[in-house]
Amino acid sequence: MGPMGQRQIPTDMSRADRDGEETGDPASEATSAPTIACPFCASSEVEPMSLFGQQLLTVQFYCNQCRTPFEKIRDAAVLGAFRDAR
């Protein structure tokens, strides 16, 4: 502890080392789109239905294996998978 009870952070460590994060380019990690899997049957045979679900923060997909529509919360990875599937 430093003056006035503040924690001292070593200056020889990078932010990623301090926070315990992976050391890599975060931009490249966000652009790699994961395969969307059906939450009911775990099949990867899904196709996008709609960019907006019942809520503005969800994306709708349709599983061709079990024929079930489902929603995923929208983030950069899900939007990348949606764009790649179209």
- Please state, for a pLDDT cut of 90, what percent of the chain lies above it: 37
Nearest to 49 by CA among 19, 82, 16: 82
Q: Using DSSP bridges, classify how beta strands 46-50 and 69-73 pair: parallel, antiparallel or unpaired.
A: unpaired
What's the mean pLDDT in 68-76? Answer: 92
* Per-residue pLDDT, 44: 93
Amino acid at 7: R
10: which DSSP letter? Answer: P
Q: From CA 86, how far away is CA 78, in angstroms rounded?
A: 13
* Per-residue pLDDT, 28: 47
User: Which residue blocks in the chain are alpha helix, DSSP H?
Assistant: 15-19, 26-31, 76-85
